[in-house]
Structure 1
Amino acid sequence: MLSIGTLMMVMPLGADFVQYLNMKPEHIGYISGGATFASALIGFFLAPYLDRYDRKSALILFLLIRSVVIIICGFSTTQNELLFWFVLAGCFAGPISGLTMASVIDITEVKERGKAIAFVASGFSLAAIIIVPVSLELSAHFSWQVTFFLFGSIGVGFSLLSYFYFPSMVGHKVMGDKVVGDKQQPSSVGMTAMITSPVFISALSIVGISMFGHFLLVPNLSTFFQFNLHFPREQISVLYLLGGVASILSMRLCGQMLDKGWITQTVLVTSILVAVVTFIGFLWQGNWPLYVVFTLFMASSSARSASVSAITSRVPLPHQRAAFMSYQGTLSNVAAGLASAVSSLYLLSDPAGRLIGIETLAMVTIGCALIVPFMVNILMNLLARRQQTALQL
């Protein structure tokens, strides 16, 4: 929750950066985009090595470094300084995400994994409920820098608590070498086989398309609400609070549905909801209250993301989980960063700060949402085929 929250909080704080750092409204996406690109780059290079170490030690190291850099972000006096330090902090987000998800998968049965993944994915919603509103209130009553000082310090505290209470996880290390018949293959061979397999490519394609469509809009939501829809700045925190609560409820429901075997149906329903709500909120822009539209958007998007994560968790073998999750996080961050950069390059702002062109981005988001269910169906067929092949050996 903390790692996601520190990324999320810069998006609704965009209007404050415009006011105090003289940042252009359409450039807000560069901050989140740069951080996600950095996370993707580091995650990609570290992925083959994450399964070689105790998950506890690696997780504490990355969390501590990231938290210290987040604190340093609060001392920024220009937009370029903030961009540099926040991108540096983003370098450690990918490995943290990969190690966390791998740890969860290690300790849960397949039949219970839907609820477990949904629970961990609720960190996104908890960030919306807790970190985003708190950061907005701190910025409004004190300064935007205080948010970085507070949550960076909390991250340092969590690192220390993890040292004492987080269990060591080394069971995956004994599976680093794969035995096939009488021959022993080094883990690098197994890694190459994984990243070139159809199930791996299919799973990551689903994740990439989902994240790209989502992040075309997300970094610009607060700015769009305030400047285009004239939504009060002081009510933005309430908006994210409601969206976060709805997201948690929807993800818990989806987790239960996934554990019952309703996989393709769950993804289909949540994807259609994302498309419909995006159409209502950004293209039609009728008389629906923004509270309703945003809450539905957050709930459907979070439920769809949790469903996709639960499905893709079936792809890696035990000794490849941290690497797979890191690669998945890498692609997620590349897609999110690319989408943020595309939105910043495409969008324009008028003298009043209103964003121009967001309707086109919304249409692309709808298209991405509708593609996902078809790709999930393909992935499920590939997984079933792989399982049948394994049983025949």
Structure 2
Amino acid sequence: MPLGADFVKHLNMQSEHIGYISGGATFASAVVGFFLAPYLDRYDRKSALILFLSVRSVIIIICGFSTTQNELLFLFVLAGCFAGPISGLTMASVIDITEVKERGKAIAFVASGFSLAAIIIVPVSLELSAHYSWQVTFFLFGSIGVGFSLLSYWYFPSMVGHKVVDDKQQSSSVGITEMITSPVFMSALSIVGISMFGHFLLVPNLSTFFQFNLHFPREQISVLYLLGGVASIFSMRLCGQMLDKGWITQTVWVTSILVAVVTLIGFLWQGSWPLYVVFTLFMASSSARSASVSAITSRVPLPHQRAAFMSYQGTFSNVAAGLASAVSSLYLISDSAGRLIGIETLAMVTIGCALMVPFMVNILMNLLTRRQQTALQL
């Protein structure tokens, strides 16, 4: 998505169509994750993870050979088909090896990988694109993905303790019927969906908006993402510690309000604060809110349900993100100079979604408490 302006320049893509790339990939990830979710808990997490990561990385390399926006869109959507299971398996593995009292910090630590992407991957990608070509970024990071597949083969532990061993256990793994009929599951998935929808109304268009609307220099975009990524790592680690101390609802309230306030300042009161400050706070508050939500929803599934639930959660997340990306692309229009018109309206919807999340978290926490009390009575 940060390469959006480069796609506009080199592939003759329209500015408002950037969202179709992320939207298509996340929709594909959602569909595949949805159908594979019931089966992920039946296999060694290591073997499944290596398979999906290897295939996705190879397709990312092939993306670099695209010569038109349609080719890039098709290949990137195909790569997106394998992203959902990767996320689900990774987070399920983290949950498998951590105690509940330490899970907030552990999830925040792993989720900081997204911030490392902002610190390292995005700036390097932008610099490679500026000095060489946008294709080089796909060649490089696709190859790194293949390398990580090999490292996973050698060093990632085999995880089979969650596998079902008899028909009774198999019947209790998460299926679509159980998910739809469970208030706890649906509350957790709804929180993730609302959070991601609001976030991705803006995220696919940030780089393009900064460059064409706010006239931010292309050569400084890398620094912008670097600062945002560093701030995100610190904010997620802090939230993880707060969650592990039991400050669950307080953490979600604070981070959600921060997201709403920063969105108001950055997109409705444009220019009132320096963009470096606005974007850094936006990245930090959004990442902290996402890590907090993930830590809370990790309490929902039982051990033999984790990969399936995390995959379903990824499906909801990707559907919401893909839908938001598509909505932003359909709603926004660009003028002759490439400026995006209508971003303020999307920002107001983002603010509304951010303020809904803490109320929904309160409901989920009450449902989890009731489920625990029922289990103790049984």
Common topology (TM > 0.5):
yes
Q: How does 1:247-326 map onto structure 2 within 5 Å? A: 247-326=232-311
1:189–1:91 distance in 2 versus 1, CA, 3 Å: closer
1:316–1:195 distance in 2 versus 1, CA, 3 Å: farther
Deviation per residue, 1:331-389 (Å, 9 max, x gap): 10000000000000000000000000000000000000000000000000000000000
Q: CA deviation at 1:161?
A: 1.1
The residue matched to 2:175 in structure 1 has which SS? Answer: helix
Q: CA deviation at 1:190?
A: 6.8
The residue matched to 2:174 in structure 1 has which SS? Answer: helix
1:358–1:129 distance in 2 versus 1, CA, 3 Å: same
Structure 1 stretches of 4+ with a deviation exceeding 4 A read: 178-185, 188-191
1:249–1:189 distance in 2 versus 1, CA, 3 Å: closer
Report the Cα distance in structure 1 between the residues aligned to 2:196 and 2:69, rounded to whole angstroms.
Answer: 26
Deviation per residue, 1:282-338 (Å, 9 max, x gap): 001243110000000000000000000000000000000000000000110000000
Q: Output the TM-score relative to the length of structure 2.
A: 0.97
Q: CA deviation at 1:180?
A: 15
1:89 aligns with 2:79: yes
Any gaps of 5 or more consecutive residues in structure 2?
Answer: none
> Do 2:33 and 2:311's aligned partners in 1 also have CA atoms closer than 8 Å?
yes
Q: Output the TM-score relative to the length of structure 1.
A: 0.94
> Do 1:98 and 1:323's aligned partners in 2 also have CA atoms closer than 8 Å?
yes
> Do 1:264 and 1:373's aligned partners in 2 also have CA atoms closer than 8 Å?
yes
Report the Cα distance in structure 2 between the residues aligned to 1:61 and 1:180, rounded to whole angstroms.
Answer: 23
> Do 2:174 and 2:305's aligned partners in 1 also have CA atoms closer than 8 Å?
no
Deviation per residue, 1:44-63 (Å, 9 max, x gap): 00000000000000000000
Q: CA deviation at 1:187?
A: 3.5
Report the Cα distance in structure 2 between the residues aligned to 1:240 and 1:179, rounded to whole angstroms.
Answer: 43
> Do 2:173 and 2:305's aligned partners in 1 also have CA atoms closer than 8 Å?
no
1:49–1:289 distance in 2 versus 1, CA, 3 Å: same
1:179–1:219 distance in 2 versus 1, CA, 3 Å: closer
**Which residue among 367, 373, 376 is the counterpart of 2:361?**
376
1:23–1:181 distance in 2 versus 1, CA, 3 Å: closer
Deviation per residue, 1:80-127 (Å, 9 max, x gap): 000000000000000000000000000000000000010111111111
> Do 1:194 and 1:316's aligned partners in 2 also have CA atoms closer than 8 Å?
no
> Do 1:264 and 1:376's aligned partners in 2 also have CA atoms closer than 8 Å?
yes
Q: CA deviation at 1:188?
A: 5.3
1:188–1:263 distance in 2 versus 1, CA, 3 Å: closer
> Do 2:29 and 2:82's aligned partners in 1 also have CA atoms closer than 8 Å?
yes
> Do 2:268 and 2:344's aligned partners in 1 also have CA atoms closer than 8 Å?
yes
The residue matched to 2:169 in structure 1 has which SS? Answer: strand
> Do 1:114 and 1:307's aligned partners in 2 also have CA atoms closer than 8 Å?
yes
Q: CA deviation at 1:267?
A: 0.2
Report the Cα distance in structure 1 between the residues aligned to 2:129 and 2:271, rounded to whole angstroms.
Answer: 31
> Do 1:348 and 1:356's aligned partners in 2 also have CA atoms closer than 8 Å?
yes
1:170–1:199 distance in 2 versus 1, CA, 3 Å: same
Aligned residues: 378
> Do 2:193 and 2:316's aligned partners in 1 also have CA atoms closer than 8 Å?
yes
> Do 1:191 and 1:320's aligned partners in 2 also have CA atoms closer than 8 Å?
no
Report the Cα distance in structure 2 between the residues aligned to 1:122 and 1:51, rounded to whole angstroms.
Answer: 25
1:241 aligns with 2:231: no
The residue matched to 1:82 in structure 2 has which SS? Answer: helix
> Do 1:204 and 1:328's aligned partners in 2 also have CA atoms closer than 8 Å?
yes
Deviation per residue, 1:228-282 (Å, 9 max, x gap): 0000000000000000000000000000000000000000000000000000000
1:122–1:185 distance in 2 versus 1, CA, 3 Å: closer
Report the Cα distance in structure 2 between the residues aligned to 1:31 and 1:384, rounded to whole angstroms.
Answer: 40
1:378–1:98 distance in 2 versus 1, CA, 3 Å: same
